[in-house]
Amino acid sequence: MATVFIPSSLASLANNSSSFVLEVANTAELFDSLFDLYPELASKLLDDKKSPRPFVAFFHNGINIPNSRIAGICLTSDCQVLFLLAVAGG
């Protein structure tokens, strides 16, 4: 089981919720479960190759995980997963 947090700016795509508890064992299951429930989130968080978009940060238990290492991470029963959208500009 994992508690998943998404940016509040995307909550409108997820029935106005920004956190979810999902019964999943790894990140592949997390993405499948989350996007089965809320398919519109997929295009905001992942690209066409199902990799995290460049300006989406993924945190697992408070640790920023590089996008290249997200696939296959095992999730424990009390873990937290957080997606953050980066702000760019200049």
Say if residues 7 and 17 touch (Cβ distance below 8 Å). no
**pLDDT over 70 (residue 90):** no
Task: Report the chain's terminal Cα–Cα distance, integer Å.
Answer: 39
Q: In the prediction, which pLDDT does 17 show?
A: 94
Mean pLDDT in residue range 1-9 = 92
| 3-state helix/strand/coil string of the chain | CEEEECCHHHHHHCCCCCEEEECCCEHHHHHHHHHHHCCHHHHHHECCCCCECCCEEEEECCEEECHHHCCCCECCCCEEEEEEECCCCC
Q: pLDDT per residue over 6-63, tens digit each?
A: 999 999 999 999 999 999 999 889 999 999 999 999 999 888 887 888 888 999 999 9
